[in-house]
Amino acid sequence: MAANTFGEIFRLTTFGESHGKGIGLIIDGCPAGIKIDELFIQSELDRRKPGQSKIVTQRKEDESFVIQSGVFEGYSTGTPISIFIPNMDQKSKDYSHIEQVFRPSHADYTYQAKYGIRDHAGGGRSSARETAARVAAGAIAKMILNQVGVQITAYVSQVGHVMMDENKEIQIDNIENNIVRCPDDETAQKMIDLIMQVKKEGDTIGGKVACIITGCPIGLGAPVFDKLHADLGKAMLGINAVKGFEYGSGFACVAMRGSEHNDAFIQKDGKIQTKTNHSGGIQGGISNGMPIHFNVGFKPVATIISGQQTVDINGNESIAEGKGRHDPCVVPRAVPIVEAMAALVLVDHLLRNKTVRV
Ligand SMILES: Cc1cc2nc3c(=O)[nH]c(=O)nc-3n(C[C@H](O)[C@H](O)[C@H](O)COP(=O)(O)O)c2cc1C
């Protein structure tokens, strides 16, 4: 049942479960000579880690990690890079109530039905704990992308019905200044209040993460099946709890006419650019040098405090109790995950692009 590897040249394999010994990853295909900044990997893991604020799950993990191979005197050697992140704060007995019953809208039923066995503790492999490995690998991908001037920035643009004013300029520098990771302080406070209210009620709420990529070279993306937006879509839809992906004008394009949607070409600063960017920086599946922008929609996650109607593994009626620590809203922690997955797609296409012409 192999589906734990992502990428064609820069290949990431992740392993591990929420309440096992730890989470880990192997990157095969990282070019040699990349300066591996361990402090940067740690700071990226810290942005994703549980227990970082009052609006996320209170599981405590310091996310310390060990690089086991592939790095010599601070530089990648071109051999497989292996990183291990031990689990420190498992409370597996908190999950004994779901050993026999399926939580509605979680992965319990489908894992059991498919494999006939499942590690139920903390959701096992289906837990978002696995995304720590993606964030560590994404940090290394970002180190390579930085060398060619690619910047990836994600932020929370909506929680429930609280959303940012689309006409306001985005203050990129302000994203990390509040616990919800929304660049607009006023909207951020409303989002925090809403998450706290939902948490008090023992419920969960959905949200949206927006992502902007600048400095992407022209020509990334491999038509026809590996179009850049298709690979970004796969990367985003592969993140736990994601329900929607749109790039450029997204679903709003449905209500537009070609005359308003078309991005007119212009010459600016000696380069071919477009006047508008409804294409979201990608045309025909290939980056066109304009900023790439997309949105990712996250559902209100399954774990709620009130008991829910369900069945047990024998099909008998049962109640799923809402015990265990959980996120009332995942988007503040999802921001670095979205960036990491985008970085993995871009670095892979950057390396693939080197084989296009001799
Ligand atoms: C950062 C993050 C944290 C999450 N925390 C929880 C949680 O505390 N409780 C929960 O039920 N689901 C949580 N999820 C979602 C589950 O992992 C996910 O819903 C589950 O694996 C089923 O997959 P699906 O929703 O993609 O179908 C989280 C997701 C992310 C991205």
Tell which atom from ligand 1 comes closest to the C-alpha of 325: 8
Give me the domain span that covers residue 46: 5-353
Query: How many Å lie between the centroid of ligand 1 and the Cα of residue 289?
Result: 34
pLDDT digits (tens, 9 = 90+) for 245-257: 999 999 999 999 9
Q: Is the CB of 241 under 6 A from ligand 1?
A: yes
Residue 358 in domain: no
Tell which atom from ligand 1 comes closest to the C-alpha of 127: 17
Q: Is the CB of 154 under 6 A from ligand 1?
A: no
The answer to whether the beta carbons of residues 138 and 344 sit under 8 Å apart is yes
For residue 114, report the phi and psi dihedrals to the nearest 5 degrees: -80, -45
DSSP-assigned letters across all residues of 226-265 = B-HHHHHHHHHHTSTTEEEEEETTGGGGGG--HHHHS--E
**Cα separation, 329 vs 201, whole angstroms:** 13
pLDDT for 323 = 77
The phi-psi region of residue 7 (left if phi > 0; otherwise alpha if psi is between -120 and 50; otherwise beta) is left
pLDDT for 321 = 84
In the three-class reduction of DSSP (H, G, I as helix; E, B as strand; rest coil), residue 137 is classed as helix
Nearest to 56 by CA among 350, 336, 354, 358: 336
What is the Cα gyration radius of the chain? 21
User: 120-124, 190-194, 299-303 — which is least confidently predicted?
Assistant: 120-124
For residue 325, what is the domain's CATH number? 3.60.150.10
Q: Is the CB of 144 under 6 A from ligand 1?
A: no
- Name the residue of 98, 106, 321, 323 to mutate for ligand 1: max ligand atoms within 8 A of Cβ: 106
Tell which atom from ligand 1 comes closest to the C-alpha of 106: 22
Q: Is the CB of 127 under 6 A from ligand 1?
A: yes
Residue 220 in domain: yes
pLDDT for 98 = 83
Nearest to 44 by CA among 345, 354, 357, 342: 342
For residue 203, report the phi and psi dihedrals to the nearest 5 degrees: -115, -175
Closest residue to atom 27 of ligand 1, CA basis: 241
pLDDT for 91 = 72
The pLDDT of residue 1 is above 60: no
What's the 3-state SS for 314-339? CCCEEEECCCCCCCCCCHHHHHHHHH
pLDDT for 290 = 98
pLDDT digits (tens, 9 = 90+) for 41-95: 999 999 999 999 999 999 888 999 999 999 999 999 999 999 999 999 877 666 7
Q: Is the CB of 57 under 6 A from ligand 1?
A: yes
Query: How many Å lie between the centroid of ligand 1 and the Cα of residue 240?
Result: 5
- Average pLDDT score over residue span 139-152: 98
What residues form DSSP beta bridges with 6? 12
Residue 283 in domain: yes
**Cα separation, 126 vs 108, whole angstroms:** 8
pLDDT for 92 = 63
Q: Which residue is listed with tokens 């590897």? A: 5
Q: Is the CB of 204 under 6 A from ligand 1?
A: no
Overall domain count for the chain: 1
Q: Is the CB of 303 under 6 A from ligand 1?
A: yes
CA torsion angle 318 319 323 326 (round to 10): 100
Residue 188 in domain: yes
CA distances from 97 to 100, 122, 131 (A): 7, 11, 24
